[in-house]
Amino acid sequence: MPRPLFIDTDTASDDAVALIIALTHPDIDVVGISVVAGNVPLDMAVQNALYTRDLCASTVAVHAGEAGPIARPLETGQHVHGHDGMGDLGLELTGRAPSGTHAVDALLAAADAHAGQLELVTLGPLSNIARALQRDPALPDRIARMVIMGAVADHIGNQNPVAEFNMWVDPEAVDVVLNSGLAVEFVGWDISRHYAVIEPDEAAELRGLGTALAEFGVDIQRCVSEFCHTETKLAGFDLPDPIAMCYAIDPAVATETRRLNCRVETTSELTRGMVVMDQLGFTGLEPNAVVVTAADRARFLEMLRSALATTP
């Protein structure tokens, strides 16, 4: 039987590829997609999720959620992904309607329907998840695992010197999640930076697969490619959400993991959103998260190619 998966996303260019990987995988039943503000404002992220879902010929419900962090104003990543979050290619990202169910209600209902089996993958800020935990503190009892694209195990950030964007946008939500008892697994930006950079020749090969999904998945990285060239100094565009999704589907994508105590910085502007990972055990606190520290690039690329080669 396919595994039930619930995806929470702030849909922009790498999120869209992660959605394609999940929606086209034969072993996965995506039982819901919830959307949160992050990379782009909520209404844009909802339209991007619906566009991607439709391109995959899926009918899974898309649920609009929180329009901003739980305790501070929203600051988006449009300087990275483009104004529309999808590379500003002129795609028709309007006119589609999400479900009438709020994302928090949808997640709680999915956890009830698949109690003890539901796997949760988050690709954006954790605002929706924190609100769900505030509504129902017993939610962790019904979630089998939660894979988070976020944080950095080497503490080299892409939003400030030490923090990754998703954690930086809503650190208070991260704090709620880390103190909830959820079975948290982090796939950080460091994993993307080391194992999921797509260089120009690889991008051309992927686009050359000739499917609508391949052309879409590569073309929407246009703005990210420029940001990676000028700001993060990578040799191509990287795909943090897709490698996190691949790990969620196939844990063998990780070649090394560690159980660590993780806490998040919520008060310092200098280190806002830093997920502090106690790698030497200084705090004496029990581990509360699994952290992926190395990955199988070849396995990731194989899963990526397989998804983009699909004709729904």
Per annotation, catalytic residue among 10, 190, 238, 241 = 10
Find the helix packing angle between 42-55 and 13-23, rounded to 10°: 40
Looking at residue 101, its pLDDT comes to: 98
Do the Cβ atoms of 110 and 31 come closer than 8 Å?
A: yes
Catalytic annotation on 10?
Answer: yes
d(CA 168, CA 40): 14
Structural domains in the chain plus CATH codes: 3-308 (3.90.245.10)
User: Tell me, what's the pLDDT at 169?
Assistant: 98
Of 240, 232, 227, which Cα lies nearest the Cα of 82?
227
Helix residue ranges per DSSP H, the chain: 13-23, 42-55, 78-81, 103-113, 127-135, 165-169, 171-178, 189-195, 200-207, 212-219, 222-227, 240-249, 297-308
Q: What is the pLDDT of residue 98?
A: 98
pLDDT at 125: 98
Per-residue pLDDT at 253: 98
Q: How far from each other are the two terminal CA atoms of the chain, in whole angstroms?
A: 20
d(CA 275, CA 292): 14
pLDDT number for residue 193: 97
Rounded (5°) CA angle 247-118-260: 50
Residues 224, 247: Cα–Cα separation, whole Å: 22
pLDDT of 150: 98
Amino acid identity, residue 104?
V
> Average pLDDT by consecutive 10-residue portion of the chain (312 residues)?
97 98 98 98 98 98 98 97 97 97 98 98 98 98 98 96 98 98 98 98 97 98 95 95 98 98 97 97 97 98 98 93
Position 80 scores a pLDDT of 96
Q: How many CB atoms lie within 10 A of CB 140?
A: 16
Which residues, 6 or more positions from 287, have their beta carbon under 8 angstroms from its beta carbon?
A: 259, 260, 261
Position 37 scores a pLDDT of: 98
Task: Count the neighbouring beta carbons within 10 Å of the beta carbon of residue 90.
Answer: 8
pLDDT for position 114: 98
pLDDT given for residue 212 in this prediction: 98
The predicted structure's pLDDT at residue 167:
98
Are residues 185 and 138 in contact, defined by beta-carbon separation less than 8 angstroms? no
